Chains A and B, each alone.
Chain A
Amino acid sequence: MVIYGVYIVSKSGGLIFNHDHNIPKVENERVFSYPIDLTLDYDPKRVSVAFGQKDGINVGHVLIAINGIPVNGSTTDEGKDVKELIENEQNFPLTLKFSRPKMTTNEKIFLASMFYPLFAIASQLSPVPKSSGIEVLEADTFKLHCFQTLTGVKFMTVAETTQTGMDVFLRKIYELYADYVLKNPFYSLEMPIRCELFDANLQGLLEQIEKTGITNI
């Protein structure tokens, strides 16, 4: 029973609220000898694994540290170039630490605006009349639930595939939104939600679900 995240998207498709909750950290460190048995993709922004999954280091994971020194983009914090370090035999053995890329706030905003047309196309491509947009989307690692209010605001949660009762939870968040965001005189519509009471109440709700389950809210 895990809820990974809560997103609120305004009626124009902008991300106005996001809360991450218990996202598992996937980090792996291993000592490598020359030449390394991974194919790396050297992008100026990040160094990622292109081929050769092994010991929990999967394709798509990014390099975050060399010998304990953090890596920023394609250079280490000491200013050395990552590609030169890894391709020079004299530097070995090297300890490389990889992690699953974390989503930045910008990427989250991008994803939220990407969901908006998907939601609309799903209803356009419907084989039956009067279909709504996407309500549940399931992948092998998570299940996304989306609830659209009559005014067009979308509440979304990302949870484990086995998590039940998400529709109740989504309506509960809507209630909190109505109480602590819309009634806040300093909040202007369509703008990001920065209301302490809302944050605190949502946090309380999530904790309550973790303790007593979703049926008791």
Chain B
Amino acid sequence: MTIHNLYIFDKYGTLLHYGEWNRIKQSGITKEEEAKLMYGMLFSIKSFVNKISPTDSKEGFLYYKTNKYALHYYETPSGLRFVINTDTASTSVKEFLQQYYSKVWVEYVVKNPLWNGAPVTSDLFKQKSDEFIKQSVMFA
């Protein structure tokens, strides 16, 4: 099992953080463009899911899988979006993203008084984030 990469977006679609571990293929476009494409896709998926859903949904979109990877999505009520790409066999990634939010994001970004909502530059956060991902059972 592997974790490929992680994107964190705010509610306006700004890429706040990007982490990469076992990424074998690059998309061939710049990081900024890739982030826009990713956010745009998620935005469309969200509205697609809302319309096609047979009953009223609460959480909405959870993940999608292709034959090679799975993209998991977690959105907080404040509009923060966590996106993680793993292999297709990974399970309970949603819980993992919730843990990541409360143990890494809230602790090292939200509680950092120097953070003003812009893309995160804190080295402590980057280090803790990397540690947290590498410790997970999915990473191995």
Contact = CB atoms under 8 A, between A and B. Distances in A.
B54 A137 contact: no
Contacts of A175: none
A54 to B, nearest CB: 13
Q: How large is the interface on B (under 10, 10 to 19, 20 to 34, 35 or more residues)?
A: 35 or more
A24 B65 CA distance: 27
Contact of B55 (A100, A125, A126, A134): A100
B64 A136 contact: yes
Interface in A6-53: 23-24, 26
Q: How large is the interface on A (under 10, 10 to 19, 20 to 34, 35 or more residues)?
A: 35 or more
Contacts, number: 113
A138 B72 CA distance: 10
Contact of A140 (B38, B48, B59): B59
Nearest to A130: B68
Nearest to B68: A131
Nearest to B24: A128
Contact of B69 (A117, A124, A131): A131
B48 A114 contact: yes
B56 A60 contact: yes
B41 interface: yes
A80 B4 CA distance: 58
B78 interface: no
Contacts of B4: 127-128
